[in-house]
């Protein structure tokens, strides 16, 4: 079931790949910059989940080691071309992989970054669990994302748009409560920041820290 849904999302982004930078490059620029700045403050081994065409890759400083994964091979191909063309030596690897089943050992990274990805994956909480698993204790999760309205007209519109946007590769309906509930259940997770981004605050920068001493508990889940 989940695999089929992931295939469907991959196909949607396979189709976006040729024009993605043109359409979504400027739209997400502000959030991308904010996410990179947050990741840079922590630094070290960085995993960018849903790296897409690699628009963010040149933004990381060369002292860090960045790995990128994405479920869409055509999107990732563009990231590879970018990394080679721009000589991005800090990019350690780019692999086709599902955010819900990361092929990395526990505690492999200092920072996990996900920009405009959580609302695209079929089972967001499963992906968040995976981000936490591959993060070292004390590490940082940086998420740039759209937060859906809790109520009112915007919530109604977002719900109505769901059938359309799902076909395009993302969901419009995704309230903050999903993150809050996940963090409450996950244990060992601390909200560091929830920052609505201008101009309208529909997109936010969210940071969670993985508390020290939770590696075993998470690995056992
Ligand atoms: C809206 S794009 C964002 C791309 C990039 N992070 C950016 O800021 O431009 C969403 C990306 O998430 C990827 N994606 C969706 N579902 C995924 C999954 N289950 N595992 C890994 N990547 C996924 C898509 O292929 C796409 O590249």
Mean pLDDT across the stretch 19-23?
95
Distance, CA of 92 to CA of 95 (rounded, Å): 10
Distance, CA of 158 to CA of 174 (rounded, Å): 9
Atom of ligand 1 nearest to the CA of 114: 6
Q: What is the CATH number of domain 2-147+175-220?
A: 3.40.50.150
Of the candidates 13, 49, 54, 26, the one whose C-alpha atom is nearest the C-alpha of residue 170 is 13
* pTM to 2 decimal places: 0.91
Binding pocket residue ranges, ligand 1, CB within 6 Å? 6, 9, 13, 24, 28, 32, 50-52, 55-56, 69-72, 75, 98-100, 115-117, 120-121
Contact status, residue 116 vs residue 50, Cβ threshold 8 Å? yes
For the stretch 73-83, pLDDT in tens is: 999 999 999 99
In the 8-state DSSP scheme, what is residue 192?
A: E
| Cα 213 to averaged position of ligand 1 atoms, centre (Å) | 30
Asked whether residue 16 carries a pLDDT value surpassing 60, the answer given is yes
Residue nearest to atom 26 of ligand 1 (CA): 52
Q: For the chain, give every domain's residue range.
A: 2-147+175-220
For the stretch 200-220, pLDDT in tens is: 878 999 999 999 875 544 444
């Amino acid at each position: 079931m989940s695999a089929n849904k992931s295939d469907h999302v991959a196909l949607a982004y396979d189709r976006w790949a040729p024009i993605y930078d043109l359409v979504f490059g400027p739209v997400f620029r502000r959030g991308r910059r904010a996410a990179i700045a947050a990741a840079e403050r922590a630094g070290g081994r960085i995993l960018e989940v849903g790296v897409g065409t690699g628009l963010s890759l040149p933004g990381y400083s060369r002292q860090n080691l960045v790995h990128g994964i994405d479920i869409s091979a055509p999107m990732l191909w563009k990231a590879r071309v970018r990394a080679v063309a721009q000589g991005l030596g800090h990019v350690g690897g780019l692999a086709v992989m599902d955010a819900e089943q990361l092929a990395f050992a526990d505690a492999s990274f200092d920072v996990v970054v996900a920009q405009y990805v959580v609302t695209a994956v079929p089972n967001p909480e499963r992906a968040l669990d995976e981000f936490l698993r591959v993060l070292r204790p004390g590490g940082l999760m940086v998420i740039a994302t759209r937060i859906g309205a809790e109520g009112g007209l915007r919530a109604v519109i977002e719900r109505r748009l769901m059938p359309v946007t799902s076909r395009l590769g993302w969901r419009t309906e995704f309230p903050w409560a999903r993150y809050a509930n996940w963090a409450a259940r996950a244990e060992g997770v601390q909200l560091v920041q929830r920052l609505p981004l201008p101009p309208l605050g529909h997109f936010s920068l969210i940071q969670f820290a993985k508390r020290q001493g939770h590696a075993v508990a998470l690995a056992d889940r």
